[in-house]
Chains A and B, each alone.
Chain A
Amino acid sequence: MKRCDRQQGRCVTEPVLRLYIARTSATARRAEEQLGELRALMSPALKVEVIDVRERPDVAEKARILATPTLTYEHPERPRRIVGDLSDARRVLNFLGIQIMGKAT
């Protein structure tokens, strides 16, 4: 989310991991489970949000989401997104550039 520095007069975006799903679809539940597995492997400090595109199409519009599930890592320098199957947690985190914290499984 945005944190604004009044003295500098500009906003800095904190990294956030967002999962966009269409909750009624078959892939949504699996994606949410997979997100839980990812969270176990990364820093608890990292902000995570789940957005149901059916409920919040305006948010999906802003992020220009086409496919669900899409996992976005909204990082100020190197934003990345991954679409589809999130089951290979290491591959997902490596691609997004998120440091792996816990034990390797």
Chain B
Amino acid sequence: MTAHEEDTDSVVLERVKTGVNAFDELVMGGLPRGRTTVVGGTPGSGKTVFATQFLAHGITHYGESGVLVTFEEPPSDIEANMRGFGWDLAAWCREGRLAFVDASPSATEELVIGDFDLGGLLSRIEHAVRSINARRVVLDSLTQLFDHFIGDPKVLRRELFRIGNALKKARLAVLMTAERNTEYGEITRHRLEEFVADNVVILRNVLQRERRRRTIEVLKMRGSHHAEGEAPFTLLENKGVVAIPLSSLRLEQQSSMIRVTSGNPAIDDMCGGGFFRDSVTLVSGATGTGKTLLVTNFLAGGVGAGEKAILFGYEESRGQLFRNASGWGVDFAQMEADGKLKIICLYPEAQGLPDHLLTIQGLVDEFQPNRIAIDSISALERIAPDTGFREFLISLTSFIKKREIAGLCTATSKSLVGGESASEQHISTLTDSIILLRYIQEQDTMNRGLMVLKMRGSEHAKEIRRFTIDSEGMHLGAPFEEAPNVFTGGDVEYRR
């Protein structure tokens, strides 16, 4: 390496935004200019969409023109395929903001003998770059180029290295796509990332529990830091690639000391004066212990204090929720009519988890509530693979905190007496407060008990309180005298 090259390397790299916000965060602001990035993925993993979005974002947001070198599909096909994402490539071509280099297979018969170089391709790319003063270049996909010159992988490696260098020298942000055979294995076919890429990004499209799970991962960023792990993403109409940030990376949420009511004065007292405004509370209990009642109180308490509240229900229909609420003296219909409440009921199976998250985020940003309830987290868990569920919870809780709204989630424990739910294992470290609702056996009667298990940043009552439910809602009574074990159901013999 010459002294000159070292100099250019030590300069802080200019970051080029890809238009996939969560991805730009993973790579500390965007792809570096003057570097090459290889995006690898199996067929159908979204490489072309990601690559086109990279160009489209430059065109629409930064006034940076782009060159799209297509080896696979002719430009007319790409124009048609990308229209659904809201990108009018043909119009950008007319306006001189986008130029194609058409390297797709042609009908002409061709014979390849001996040594050659890709001088023709390089000249065409450089010509296109000059003609529209492009700042971004995409080559999609290199694998097709290898298939075209199938007998000469060595020549192609040498030539791609040359093309990559020429484009880097011209201070372009270069993105190349390459095909992979398997989701977990060799990085790309022909191992071309080894000689052409400064950075390597992997797109995956894995079938898990009969559901497609798309993720994006940064494998390598030469000379710079990047976040590790697979971030889930989805392909949306008129948007393209929308990734979900791995929010666990940044615990930057401010902690508010402002208290809001849980909707039940007795529970507020147990929590030391109510929930914190930007906290997430988990209510865990077996079926019928009163979780939905707590949710109803939480919503009504907020509306009663002049706040706006939103509920995402995944277990019961609107009709059922309204009927339950009126049974406890709460009029959801009137609150909705007043614009103070919004209730959304969805089947968990209606869409994948990333889409559920985007639905929640979209409606929260639209309705601007002060509090949000989700009933229940467990219902969403059943549609998702474990890792996907954990990412969903992380993203959801951090979203709620960032918006500085109070969140309440419910989780259903599997056994009727005691026991913890799987959701609880996942979410207990992510939530600020945990309230347990349990059936507790005393001699020959079954009672309900409530306890505040955890309350981050605050004192809270440690006892287990008896409670009853009637037509006016929940009534907390005296603590249990002989402390039962709420985790196993209070069986004294068992505890030994």
- A residues adjacent to B (C-beta < 8 A): 20-22, 25, 27, 53-54, 57-58, 60-61, 64-70, 72, 78-88, 91, 95
Contact = CB atoms under 8 A, between A and B. Distances in A.
A87 B103 CA distance: 26
A80 B128 CA distance: 25
B110 A27 contact: no
B108 A80 contact: yes
A54 B117 CA distance: 13
Interface in B96-142: 101-103, 106, 108-124, 126-128
B124 A67 contact: no
Given A61-B101, A64-B102, A54 B112 contact: no
Contacts of B101: 61
A58 B116 contact: no
Interface in B310-358: none
A66 B121 contact: yes
Contacts of B110: 80-83
Contacts of A25: 117, 119
A80 B109 contact: yes
B111 A95 contact: yes
B117 A83 contact: no
Contacts of A69: 116
A68 B102 CA distance: 16
A67 B113 contact: no
A85 B120 contact: no
Contacts of B117: 22, 25, 27, 67-68
Contacts of A58: 127
Contacts of A21: 119
A-B pairs, top 5 by smallest CB distance, nearest first, are A85-B114, A22-B119, A57-B127, A65-B120, A68-B119
Interface of B: 101-103, 106, 108-124, 126-128, 145, 148-149
Nearest to A53: B123
A57 B103 contact: no
Nearest to A80: B109
10 contacts: A22-B123, A57-B124, A57-B126, A60-B124, A65-B124, A67-B119, A67-B120, A69-B116, A79-B108, A82-B112
Nearest to B105: A64
Given A22-B119, A66-B103, A83 B112 contact: yes
A60 B118 CA distance: 12
Given A83-B113, A84-B115, 20 more contacts: A25-B117, A53-B123, A60-B123, A60-B124, A64-B106, A65-B121, A66-B103, A66-B120, A66-B121, A67-B116, A67-B118, A68-B116, A68-B117, A68-B119, A68-B120, A69-B116, A78-B109, A79-B108, A81-B108, A84-B113
B123 A57 contact: yes
Nearest to A51: B120
A82 B111 contact: yes
Residue among B103, B117, B118 having the largest count of chain A Cβ atoms under 10 Å: B117
A62 to B, nearest CB: 10
Please classify the interface of chain B as helix (H, G, I), strand (E, B), loop, or mixed, using the class held by over half of its residues.
Answer: mixed
Given A67-B149, A79-B108, A53 B120 contact: yes
Contact of A85 (B113, B123, B126): B113
A82 B113 contact: yes
B120 A60 contact: yes
Contacts of A85: 113-115
A34 to B, nearest CB: 11
B148 to A, nearest CB: 7
A20 B120 contact: yes
A80 B126 CA distance: 26
A66 B103 CA distance: 7
Residue among A65, A66, A81, A84 having the largest count of chain B Cβ atoms under 10 Å: A66
Contacts of B111: 80-83, 95
Contacts of B108: 72, 79-81
Nearest to B111: A82
B120 A27 contact: no
Contact of B148 (A20, A53, A60, A66): A66
A20 B116 CA distance: 11
Contacts of A60: 120, 123-124, 127
Nearest to A22: B119
A11 B102 CA distance: 25
A84 B119 CA distance: 12
Contacts of A27: 115-117
Contacts of A53: 119-120, 123-124
Nearest to A67: B116
A25 B122 CA distance: 12
Nearest to A68: B119
B160 to A, nearest CB: 12
B118 A66 contact: yes
A66 B116 CA distance: 10
B93 to A, nearest CB: 13
A57 B120 CA distance: 8
Nearest to B107: A79
A95 B113 CA distance: 12
Given A20-B120, A27-B116, A27-B117, A64 B103 contact: yes
A31 B112 CA distance: 14
B120 A70 contact: yes
Contacts of B148: 66
